[in-house]
Structure 1
Amino acid sequence: MLQLVKNASKNQENQAIVSGNQVYTYRNLLEASHEFASYLLDQTGDLAETRVAFMVSPGFDYVRVQWGIWRAGGVAVPLCITYPLPSLQYVIDDTDAQIIVAGPEYAELLAPLATQKGIRFISLADVDALSISSKKLPNILPDRRAMILYTSGTTNLPKGVVTTHRTIEAQVSTLVKSWEWSATDRILCVLPLHHVHGIINVISCALWSGATVEFLPFFSAEAVFEAFAKGHINVFMAVPTIYFKLIAYWETLPQEAQQQISDTLSRFRLMVSGSAALPVSVMEKWKIISSHTLLERYGMTEIGMGISNPYHGERKAGYIGKPLPGVRVRLVDENNQVVKAGQPGEIQVKGKNVFLEYWQRPEATQKTFTDDGWFKTGDVAVVEKGYYRILGRDSIDIIKSGGYKISALEIEEVLRTHPAISDCSVVGIPNEEWGELVVAAVMVKDPEIDLKALNQWLRERMPAYKVPRHYKIIDELPRNAMGKVTKNDIKKMF
């Protein structure tokens, strides 16, 4: 039996999920996920690690579908609800998904794609109208593949990161212990659910612990503070961009309203920031507002969380903290030799939290691990007085913006297909709100190009967060003697 399910069965009367003005207990979640698992088994007989892509809005339905896929023995492939069709199609094609599950609001978008590709399509609206017989569910072994999440690497297309149930359990149990989760906790989920931050750190940690997850249908600073004002929520996790937006909204309020919010926040147990570097200015402003020093941590799709500031003890601004229990971390130079104390090096990680493989990319998998089994993160850091401090990315082609890790090469490939663009280069530039902003230098065939129309064209081909915020029209891209574009020179243009 999956450990998440086993823990849930001990807390059946506890509130598990609050979503859409409805309250669901762990008993409701266990029954609903069992029903959905039974339905999947009725359709297929045996999932046997079948990839099941699902596009469901955050809330109870999302969790019951995810748990149902796991309990039936399938591999969960969550689809981003804001992605345009080409991005969804890429994930579905790359995973070779054999089943697509859609919430009612996404059925019209995905059903034609499923028909075109001959993939079994399941609309939750149809499932909910049926009477489903409860089946005996298979025993799921810990080493079975559980989930595929997509991350942008240094290649121009996202790679599928495969985790097993054992991997997920290691990631979750470590955080539950380190951050002292308990059944009395209640967390507000405002994060997208096709990333490890929302799936593992928020939902899975809470449900592992018998705690409650409350979902917001959409993010707004006002809605977040309204949810906080009810007085039930005591844990919050977000990316730096969200904290930036909350601060900006708080600063517009009258003093009395500001004080009410500050009083509410001061009673929280834990507030965490991650997925991008937390600007020291944001950390300091949030402490003034909330009385909390945000707990900053470091993780990746491939490892879950690996390094964290302490729950008890000093949380140092500008630092990601120390390795979590059970996670081994080392810094190495370009020759893969461990560096001396105080010297910068690439972060490498080893432990049960590390992913299994990149889906159907054995060469990429082999390349990202050392001969002695350490995962190469590509992030450069230094250790100062026992705390790790990130210095940057060893590849300039990875842009960290608003909690996302974005491949510049992927954006460049799409831009080059526009009839008015002859060549381009995409980089990230520092930005307090977003961490980094995506910007592009472009060589154009028509100097009168409409940049607003170009952005609209891009939004039809990729998620909005990948679309450049600023452009520079240039005659030639700067290159070195080998013809390679010198991206640091591009950054200076902005």
Structure 2
Amino acid sequence: MHLPLINRAQEHGEKIAILVPNVEAFTYRDLLYVSSQIATNLLQDTEDLEEQRVALMIPPGFDYVATQWGIWRAGGIAVPLCVSHPRPELEYAIVNSGASIIVAHPDFEEILRPILLALRNSNAQAPNLRSILTSETLPNPVDRLPEVNLARRALILYTSGTTGKPKGVVTTHQNIQAQVTSLIAAWEWTSRDRILHILPLHHVHGIINVLTCALWAGAECRMVSKFDAETVWQCIGDGDLTLFMAVPTIYVKLMSTWENTNPERQKILSAGCAKMRLMVSGSAALPVRVLEKWQSISGHLLLERYGMTEIGMALSNPLHGQRLPGYVGVPLPGVEVRLVDEDGTLVPSGSPGEIQVKSHGVFLEYWQNPEATATAFQDGWFCTGDLAVVENGNYRILGRMSVDIIKTGGYKVSALEIEEVLRSHPDIHECAVVGVDDPEWGERVCAALVLHPHRQLTLASLRSWAKEQLAVYKVPTQILVVTELPRNVMGKVTKPAVVELFR
């Protein structure tokens, strides 16, 4: 029995699956055949990899997809490596996952060679660690491939490690199928869709939301090796894409490029956006001003959604109907979401609480870390560590409890909320808000500001403005102190300043 993803691909035969703009197009038949060759090569003389971990370090493109599918079809667990990570991070992922095979593009042979040599000579890794280059000749004919049960482990993705060593998030084929089918239903993917893939392929956003959803639906996935604003605009300007997904930083870069082109080309690029049926933003908070500016350029009110490595996507604004700026919508099909307080008690509507999620898409475990796995769940619910509030039936993210929630004088203040308010000031171009330890208040709210060119801020005007604006967001009355920063601290920016917000 084949995996459902493979069975579905067989229905699309000569339809284009992967297109590398201005280079080559590959059909679903190509993808099925080459992935079966790769699976045969991985198996060698064995019948089933039986969940051996196979690390892959391949740039976006057909080789990446065929290798990922080949690993799955051979019964292995795919461990995607970030193509831009330095040696220590690559070595950590390889060792922690216990990878027995590494498949790499020739461009990365030089950075991987010393890692492989060190691991083969150490006691931490088996001396027979295999390495395969994507340029090697693949076997022909193809051997009979194993049957792979949906309950098997399929993928290990590593968390960012902001509060400790990165953890390997293990998802099964069944988890992936649940995540994909939920998005297929919510965003109405069809085989007629064409999406431009510009996201990293070691994160759930790029692997699940774009690549696997597209291939599950029988759609066409266009892949570029790395993000380049001009290249992306050229693809959009061609006018035949139906979907686009990106992170806020990418939208900011695209806006800057659009603003620096001539009016005639701006119209062409905007028209390309307007022909799409959906544009999505995720993986980070989307500032309202970015959303509004992008809408003026593209005609699209970006669909915001919320998810994470451990759960896939959990919340989404609607494909049809009203989308509220600053909100991430409601639970996706097949996903249950609740908000609880520090005692695990459900909070009433309008009160902040930790997001907890239950669905078939929630990950299986942290790789070889049963303690962390047990801690991550409460009565079968996954504890995300993110704080949110439900207002008008929609979820609004307040931030990461360990990072973005500032406890000052008995109040819990959302750094993301304060940032959004500060960005609305006419003189402020960008800002970042953090909590600073304070013996009296626990934490003081501190913001680093970057002003628009040729703008000035006075303490009196900023104090008056902020007291009024922050009061709307239920932030305690604040006193503001403005201090100029040395230019080398913030880099080449215009009149940076640090602002402390505290009583």
TM-score range, shorter chain: 0.7 to 0.9
Distance across 2 between alignment mates of 1:488 and 1:46: 55
Aligned residue identity for 2:334: G
2:130 aligns with 120
Distance apart, 1:116 and its partner CA = 2.5
What secondary structure sits across from 1:4 in the alignment? Answer: helix
Is the CA contact 2:198–2:223 (under 8 Å) kept in the aligned structure 1? yes
Distance apart, 1:253 and its partner CA = 1.5
Is the CA contact 2:6–2:32 (under 8 Å) kept in the aligned structure 1? yes
Equivalent residue in structure 1 for 2:89, among 77, 80, 87 = 87
Structure 2 unaligned blocks of 5 or more: 121-128, 407-414, 449-480, 482-497
Is the CA contact 2:399–2:405 (under 8 Å) kept in the aligned structure 1? no
Equivalent residue in structure 2 for 1:320, among 328, 333, 340 = 328
Superposed, 1:160-179 pairs within 5 Å as 160-179=168-187
Superposed, 1:291-370 pairs within 5 Å as 291-370=299-378
1:105 aligns with 107
Distance across 2 between alignment mates of 1:386 and 1:179: 20
Equivalent residue in structure 1 for 2:293, among 282, 285, 294 = 285
Distance apart, 1:219 and its partner CA = 1.3
CA deviation vs aligned residue, 1:15-72 (integer Å, no higher than 9, x gap): 0001261000000000000000011011655311001011001000000000000000
Equivalent residue in structure 2 for 1:232, among 233, 240, 249 = 240
Is the CA contact 1:241–1:434 (under 8 Å) kept in the aligned structure 2? no
Query: Percent identity between the aligned chains?
Result: 54
Distance across 1 between alignment mates of 2:119 and 2:442: 39
Is the CA contact 2:339–2:354 (under 8 Å) kept in the aligned structure 1? yes
Check if 1:274 corresponds to 2:278: no
Aligned residue identity for 1:395: S
1:403 aligns with none
More moved, 166-175 vs 35-44: 35-44
1:157 aligns with 165
Aligned residue identity for 1:32: V
Aligned residue identity for 2:282: G
Change (3 A) 1:265 1:33: same
Q: Which structure has more RCO (C-alpha within 8 Å, separation ≥ 6)?
A: 1
What secondary structure sits across from 1:389 in the alignment? Answer: strand
Check if 1:181 corresponds to 2:181: no
Aligned residue identity for 2:373: T
Aligned residue identity for 2:381: W
Distance apart, 1:104 and its partner CA = 1.1
Change (3 A) 1:145 1:238: same
RMSD, aligned α-carbons: 2.6
Change (3 A) 1:94 1:238: same
CA deviation vs aligned residue, 1:245-265 (integer Å, no higher than 9, x gap): 111111112211111111121
Distance apart, 1:101 and its partner CA = 0.8
Structure 1 unaligned blocks of 5 or more: 400-426, 442-476
Distance across 2 between alignment mates of 1:147 and 1:398: 31
Change (3 A) 1:489 1:204: same
Check if 1:250 corresponds to 2:258: yes
Change (3 A) 1:199 1:85: same
Is the CA contact 1:240–1:435 (under 8 Å) kept in the aligned structure 2? no
* TM value normalised by structure 2: 0.80
Question: When the two structures are aligned, how many residues end up with a matched partner?
Answer: 426
2:491 aligns with none
Select the structure of larger CA radius of gyration. Answer: 2
What secondary structure sits across from 2:37 in the alignment? Answer: helix
1:449 aligns with none
What secondary structure sits across from 1:297 in the alignment? Answer: strand
Distance across 1 between alignment mates of 2:429 and 2:24: 33
Distance across 1 between alignment mates of 2:367 and 2:444: 30
Change (3 A) 1:4 1:435: farther
Distance apart, 1:200 and its partner CA = 0.2
Check if 1:376 corresponds to 2:383: yes
CA deviation vs aligned residue, 1:155-182 (integer Å, no higher than 9, x gap): 3211110000000000001101110001
Distance apart, 1:311 and its partner CA = 0.5
1:465 aligns with none
1:16 aligns with 17
Distance apart, 1:438 and its partner CA = 10
More moved, 1-10 vs 148-157: 148-157
* TM value normalised by structure 1: 0.81
